[in-house]
């Protein structure tokens, strides 16, 4: 399939199945799909957790009850670049955590496959870890762009110390004029630039007709409007109307969190849903209302303390004599519903991401680029493992 054909097939399937993913799990006291109830309640909580961690198993579990899942799984398969990692001296990896360094090694190997030995522009560079590896690998010069001046200073210090041909520029890429950073004879790279940061990168690079563009997108909702603004013509013609909630779904496949973090998260969901049940009882309002994020230490206190904190945030008076255990039990029951609603939504999380990636790839194609979409590393290193490469 061409990129356009791939996008059209995925777009049609996501539109026809939107009742299963375009919803908010916290809104429901009961499962919203009667046809899936037996299948979902046949799973105990541990099985839900295990299934949620295995995307291929998710596809298989729901394939017979949700039409099109087999096709969906195929449309989410992308070619993988399997290349031997470049070996770097120990001083290049100083200050880079193990999993991140492996991601960088795979990214460098993947983008070096088509490298034109051009000067490099590194976008949203942080301390310039990627740029340093590319400079060591033979890039004639690297220009690293970063918002935070102290990171520029640290990166420049490392590059100078290691005698690498790099320079750093501090810039807010969403508001500053960055036209002069882009050249036609250049390789523009970005690893995990978020939302509008990578969209601006694409637009600026294609405007300059930069010869080679390589990037891995991340956090598609950040720095963007709540209503998703499509980039390519096919996406602009789509009947899907995506919001931040839908874009966040694309990010909900994660590398396994530490068990302590997972336990706190489960407590947080139970308490938030328990408080929501209390709030509904007191106000008569039946829709879910979120309360702000809070330091996780609060979830080692008591449920009643959390309710007092949340009530204050929502300007809600709590009368005497509330049976907090009753509402905590309601929260625990609702969490089991929420987890199963999320399980169904998660069938589509990779599909949403591939849809967003294809929108970006088709945009670059419209600008005259030859574009490929692939994966550059294993999901165990990062689920954000999609690589878009464009040559002019």
Tell me the pLDDT of the chain (392 aa) as tens digits: 999 999 999 999 999 999 999 999 999 999 999 999 999 999 999 999 999 999 999 999 999 999 999 999 999 999 999 888 888 999 999 889 889 999 999 999 999 866 668 999 999 999 999 999 999 999 999 999 999 999 999 999 999 999 999 999 999 999 999 999 999 999 999 999 999 999 999 999 999 999 999 999 999 999 999 999 999 999 999 999 999 999 999 999 877 566 777 889 999 999 999 999 999 999 999 889 999 999 999 999 999 999 999 999 999 999 999 999 999 999 999 999 999 999 999 999 999 999 999 999 999 999 999 999 999 999 999 999 999 999 99
Return the pLDDT at 73.
97
Beta carbons within 8 Å of 189's beta carbon, 6+ residues apart: 111, 120, 121, 122, 123, 130, 134, 213, 214, 215
What is the Cα–Cα distance from 353 to 388, expressed in whole angstroms?
13
pTM of the model: 0.94
Return the pLDDT at 263.
86
Return the pLDDT at 114.
65
Q: What backbone phi and psi angles, to 5 degrees, belong to 180? A: -70, -15
Scan for tokens 């930069």, then name that residue. 210
Return the pLDDT at 257.
61
Q: Coil, strand or helix: which one is 22?
A: coil
């Amino acid at each position: 399939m061409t990129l356009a054909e791939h996008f059209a097939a995925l777009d049609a399937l996501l539109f026809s199945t939107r009742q299963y993913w375009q919803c908010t799990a916290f809104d429901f006291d009961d499962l919203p799909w009667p046809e899936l109830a037996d299948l979902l309640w046949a799973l105990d909580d541990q099985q839900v957790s295990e299934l949620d961690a295995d995307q291929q198993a998710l596809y298989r579990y729901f394939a017979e009850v949700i039409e099109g899942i087999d096709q969906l799984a195929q449309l989410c398969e992308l070619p993988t670049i399997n290349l031997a990692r470049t070996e770097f001296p120990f001083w290049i990896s100083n200050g880079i955590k193990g999993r991140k360094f492996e991601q960088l090694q795979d990214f460098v190997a993947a983008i070096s496959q088509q490298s034109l030995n051009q000067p490099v522009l590194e976008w949203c560079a942080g301390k310039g870890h990627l740029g340093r590896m590319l400079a060591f690998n033979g890039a004639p010069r690297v220009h690293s762009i970063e918002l935070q001046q102290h990171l520029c200073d640290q990166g420049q210090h490392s590059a100078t110390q290691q005698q690498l041909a790099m320079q750093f520029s501090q810039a807010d890429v969403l508001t500053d004029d960055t036209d002069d950073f882009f050249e036609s004879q250049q390789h523009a790279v970005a690893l995990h630039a978020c939302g509008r940061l990578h969209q601006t990168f694409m637009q600026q690079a294609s405007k300059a007709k930069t010869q080679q563009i390589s990037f891995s997108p991340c956090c598609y909702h950040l720095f963007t409007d709540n209503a998703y603004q499509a980039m390519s013509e096919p996406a602009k013609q789509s009947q899907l109307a995506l919001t931040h909630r839908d874009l966040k779904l694309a990010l909900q496949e994660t590398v396994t969190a530490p068990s302590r973090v997972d336990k706190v998260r489960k407590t947080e969901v139970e308490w938030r849903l328990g408080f929501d049940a209390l709030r509904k009882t007191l106000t008569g309002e039946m829709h879910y209302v979120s309360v702000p994020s809070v330091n996780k230490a609060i979830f080692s206190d008591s449920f009643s303390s959390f309710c007092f904190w949340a009530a204050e945030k929502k300007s809600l008076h709590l009368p005497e004599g509330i049976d907090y255990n009753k509402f905590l039990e309601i929260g625990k029951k609702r969490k089991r519903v929420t987890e199963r609603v999320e399980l169904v939504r998660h069938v589509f999380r990779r599909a949403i991401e591939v849809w967003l990636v294809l929108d970006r790839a088709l945009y670059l194609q419209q600008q005259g680029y030859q574009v490929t979409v692939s994966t550059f590393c294993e999901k165990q290193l990062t689920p954000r493992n999609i690589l878009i490469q464009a040559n002019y």
